[in-house]
Amino acid sequence: MKTISIILLTCFLSFSAATAATEQEVVNQSASILRDFRRMPERGIPRSVLRNARGLAVLTVVKVGFGISGKGGQGVVVARTGRGWSGPSFVGTGGVGWGPQIGAQITEFVFVLNTSGAVRAFSKDGNVTIGADASAAAGPVGRDVQASITPTAAIYTYSRSKGLFAGASLEGAVIATQKTANARYYGRPVRAREILNGSVASPAKANVLHAALGR
């Protein structure tokens, strides 16, 4: 049974790699996720949280389980600069684990980066461990909720899932900068820090994301 599970999971991961979204598709999907999270009346991200955010990370993560479970996902990180929102820096996550789960799940995550330290963690061209490199907590919900002036964690997490698994969390997950994706999107090698501090101009093709972000 374990051998069959490994074979099935390997096939899934191979298929996922072969059908990975292009950078522009990731940007478009991230914009769509943000629009949806802003529209949800009862479970949406409060306006005050978005208004005070130093940055945002948006990811779509697919998880499957056949006795052994695997997950993988892509997304973007943006940060506020003196001229508005930065261009997108691409990130990804993945992993394999053991457990009784059987099924599949697609989860959309939005991480609100409340502090400059949280933004710096995503600016290092390396890995960020949620909850370790920056404290994380479930964020307040409701579009009209007035969140505390002082955030309770460096990162507020929000998620929406479709699938058979119960619950979804990236607590402890490692999110890595995708340097190759950044180079493809910007047409040359660029560092995550240069993107997020605004040193690299955001291309026009990222306007769909900026429109979803608002001010």
How many domains, in total, are found in the chain?
A: 1
Measure CA 21 to chain center: 14
List pLDDT tens digits, range 151-186: 789 999 998 887 555 455 666 788 999 999 999 999
CA distances from 84 to 16, 52, 138 (A): 34, 13, 26
User: Is the per-residue pLDDT at 59 higher than 50?
Assistant: yes
pLDDT tens, residue by residue, 70-103: 778 999 999 999 889 999 999 999 876 655 566 6
In this prediction, residue 60 carries a pLDDT of 95
Name the 3-class secondary structure at 94. Answer: strand
Instruction: Out of 59-68, 87-96, 200-209, pick the least confident.
Output: 59-68
Burial class (CB in 10 A: 0-12, 13-18, 19+), 37: buried
Question: Domain containing 29: what range?
Answer: 2-213
Per-residue pLDDT at 47: 86
Distance CA 18, CA 166 (A): 27
Is the pLDDT at 7 greater than 60? The verdict is: no
